[in-house]
Amino acid sequence: MTLDSLKLNQQVTIQSITENGLTSKLTDMGLYPGKSVSVIFKAPFGDPIAVDIDGYTLSLRKEEASLVEVQIG
Amino acid sequence: MKISLVGNPNSGKTSIFNRLTGLNQKIGNFPGVTVDKKSGLLKTSKGSHHILDLPGTYSLYAKTQDEQIVYDILSDPTHADYPDRIIVVADASNLERNLLLFTQVMDLGLPVILALNMSDIAAKKGVVIDYEKLSEVLGGVKIVPVNARTGQGMDQLIAETVSEDSNIPGSSFIEGEFEKGHFLITDPHRQKQLVEERYRKINNILKFVVRQEPTKRSMLKRQRMADKIITHPLLGFVLFLGVLMVIFQAIYAWAEWPMDLIDTLFLSLSQWVINNLPEGVLTSLIAEGIIPGLGGVLIFIPQITLLFAFIFILEESGYMARVVFIMDKIMRPFGLNGRSVVPLISGVACAIPAIMATRTIENWKERLITIMVTPLMSCSARLPVYTLLIALVIPNQTIGPFKLQGLALLAMYLIGLLGALLAAFVFKWIIKAKQKSFLVMELPYYRMPRWNNLAITLWEKVRLFVFDAGKVIFSISIILWVLASYGPGDRIQQAVDKIPEPVTQEDVNAYEKKVASVSLSNSYIGILGHAMEPAIRPLGYNWQIGIALITSFAAREVFVGSMATIYSVGENFEADETLIQRMRKEQNPETGKPVYNLASGLSLMVFYAFAMQCMSTLAVVLRETKKWKWPLLQLIYMTAMAYLAALITYQILK
């Protein structure tokens, strides 16, 4: 399951991030394997999405979120 | 001593920079790139120190041009800006992500100090930090808690920064990744692994250093609530529309009187010079070239100041990031991103501050497209031209509840918007992307803007415009003045001599207008206007319009004044014969039909909607892109677009 397909407020743990030119940007912003995150709200057309990381809000496009493999819990 | 400020965007780095340097700031360029270099002087009792505010970054591994600067400077001891001391500004309420950059900088082996900002927000979130322990686990680095809003902790920060202690961290956080003057890892995959390793280590440290006190989490709750409303599919857009209308109204209405004031001031200054200095070339140069040229630069200050004041509030309050968030999806098909919205909309007031506002777009391709198409939005300088031409050729009728003339004006604005989106769509395919488009962006907490930064920000924008773009605008004004005042040989004098001298006192006024008209049409610009008549005849224009097209390159609204001069009528519409009446009488000598009819009038309006008739905008585009290529391309494509659209309009309607 990837980060772009989650329901709101579903707590998940990041498993891995698919390698792509953007991977390192996502990692810099605090998305790394083992981190617990949740999608907290979405833009009007469902894209981009906003993710909660320890109380800070990161927004990213669905395309970018689809690189992040997550597991519920 | 050279001190560099490094930190995440939104960490309050610029506030700290402002606190350290006050008004002792200057903005230059990093050689070869379009990134502003903000530097300043920190004055202490022991001397002054150079402070460099490096662009905000989340990591030493650069993703954008701005971030590359940080990498370039910190990895090169031979670089002119290589620092002796580094201050890393970190957001205490978001320690994990901020410590990533800090530990990377720390591993460079340079003297470094950690300024922990925003402890007030951390406290509201119930985050309690043990500074001593944090310093200990980070190899003994100096940590100074500061509050950039109140100035708390600044004295200590300054003292620690300039102290003789080396402040070089005792040990590396992660071995083998960075070394003084060397970044050891170049493989992106390995870089990513090391960033992840850093995060895991930081995470472990924070478990011992940071205590989460129980709070009602009301601050976070309020923040989330605000986000629900502001990014709501319906409310979000309504709110944004409301905000835009306020900004738009303000730039239109509030900027008007200071602009009129500047206008009047420079007109009276010119008049004073004419009345008080001996007649001659020098007086004429000062009164008709230099003073109006300066006025033409300064007239934009009210609009620039207002727009940037609003942008400052939107950015600082955290609202701008949400606008980007809700608009991104809509703008993407046009090769733009959410951040293009504000420049585009601001372009309806004036393209100059709008283009300066594209700085917030990190992606170079998207920023460039925004810069290239913003001048197509119908700016306020086009309004006098539209007003004149609409009154001239659009019948004063109503269709249902709407006035036809009002609808025509609305149509002109829509044509501008459509033109901009169309051009953006084309540029999307032409301009090569240096980097993939992405939007991975922090949505910062909502908060009150820091008002003490407002004045510094506005002063910075105004100064950039006046001294950088102003030079080009001023030079072109002088050139245009020379071309409009002089003709080959004594051509102007000969033409003026042919006008019958005024007999009675009443005729003097008419005579002077006639002289002005004849002088202009025999000047170099006049000759150029005549010469280009064959090229513009298919658009339905005569040489008089040709002249006005050239003179209004200084600013579009000059069109009206030039037409008035050419037809020797005053600009005062209440006068006996108005410009509109005079233009209506104008006939085509070959066909005997009126020159200004629906076809030629609309063609001219369409031309003004698309043409790059504004040297000030070109000067700002040059300033922002640092290459002649872009303003020239813009001039060419917009002129071609205007010519084609006007040609089609005229040929269909005639």
pLDDT in tens, B430-477: 888 777 788 889 999 998 888 888 988 888 888 877 887 777 778 878
Any CB–CB contact under 8 A between B228 and chain A?
Answer: yes
Q: How far apart are CA B174 and CA B187, in angstroms?
A: 17
Grade residue B636 by pLDDT with cuts at 50, 70 and 90: very high
Residue B77's CB: how many other CB atoms inside 10 A? 11
Residue B13 scores a pLDDT above 50: yes
pLDDT at B572: 46
B196 contacts in A (CB within 8 Å)? 27, 32-33
Q: How far apart are CA B82 and CA B52, in angstroms?
A: 10
Does the distance separating the beta carbons of B97 and A44 come in below 8 Å?
no
Does the distance separating the beta carbons of B325 and A50 come in below 8 Å?
yes
Does the distance separating the beta carbons of A34 and B442 come in below 8 Å?
no
- Only one residue has tokens 């629906």, namely B598
Interface ipTM:
0.95
Does the distance separating the beta carbons of A54 and B325 come in below 8 Å?
no
Assigned token pair, B606? 């369409």
Q: How far apart are CA B492 and CA B485, in angstroms?
A: 9
Of B237, B329, B440, Cβ closest to residue A29 = B440
Domains and CATH numbers, chain B: 2-215 (3.40.50.300), 472-653 (no CATH)
Q: How far apart are CA B173 and CA B294, in angstroms?
A: 56
- Only one residue has tokens 């200004």, namely B596
Instruction: Indicate which CATH number applies to the domain containing A23.
Output: 2.30.30.90
Residue B176 scores a pLDDT above 70: yes
Phi, psi of B37, deg, nearest 5: -105, 110
Any CB–CB contact under 8 A between A38 and chain B?
Answer: no
Does the distance separating the beta carbons of A47 and B196 come in below 8 Å?
no
Report yes or no: B323 and B345 within 8 Å, Cβ to Cβ.
no
Residue B490's CB: how many other CB atoms inside 10 A? 11
Report yes or no: B105 and B60 within 8 Å, Cβ to Cβ.
yes
The string of DSSP codes covering B264-289 is HHHHHHHHHHHHHS-SSHHHHIIIII
Any CB–CB contact under 8 A between A40 and chain B?
Answer: yes
Please list the helix, strand and coil fractions of chain B in percent, rounded to the nearest 5, in that order: 60, 10, 30
Residue B41 scores a pLDDT above 60: yes
Calculate the alpha carbon distances from B511 to A59, B589, B636 in Å. Answer: 68, 24, 39
Q: How far apart are CA B280 and CA B545, in angstroms?
A: 30
Domain count of chain A? 1
Mean pLDDT across chain B = 87
Q: How far apart are CA B565 and CA B190, in angstroms?
A: 70
Chain A residue closest in CA terms to B338: A48
Question: What's the per-residue H, E or C state across B370-390?
Answer: HHHHHHHCCCCCHHHHHHHHH
B residues 173-192 lying closer than 8 A (beta carbon) to A:
188-189, 191-192
Q: In the predicted model, what is the mean pLDDT of residues B589-617?
A: 89
Contacts of B103 (CB under 8 A, 6+ apart): B138, B173, B174, B198, B201, B202
Q: How far apart are CA B121 and CA B147, in angstroms?
A: 10
Does the distance separating the beta carbons of A56 and B228 come in below 8 Å?
no
Helix (H) / strand (E) containing B585: helix B579-585
Residue B574 scores a pLDDT above 50: no
- Only one residue has tokens 């979120």, namely A65
Does the distance separating the beta carbons of B236 and A41 come in below 8 Å?
no
pLDDT at B442: 92
- Percent of all residues in chain B with a pLDDT value above 70, rounded to a whole number: 97
pLDDT at B573: 43
Grade residue B513 by pLDDT with cuts at 50, 70 and 90: confident
Any CB–CB contact under 8 A between A62 and chain B?
Answer: no
As beta bridge partners, residue B210 has: B129
Distance from CA of B649 to the nearest CA of A (A): 38
- What are B269-327's pLDDT values in tens digits? 988 998 898 888 888 888 888 888 888 788 888 888 888 898 889 888 999 899 999 99
Q: What residue numbers bound the domain in which A45 lies?
A: 3-72
- What are B339-367's pLDDT values in tens digits? 898 889 888 878 888 898 888 787 888 99
Distance from CA of A47 to the nearest CA of B (A): 7
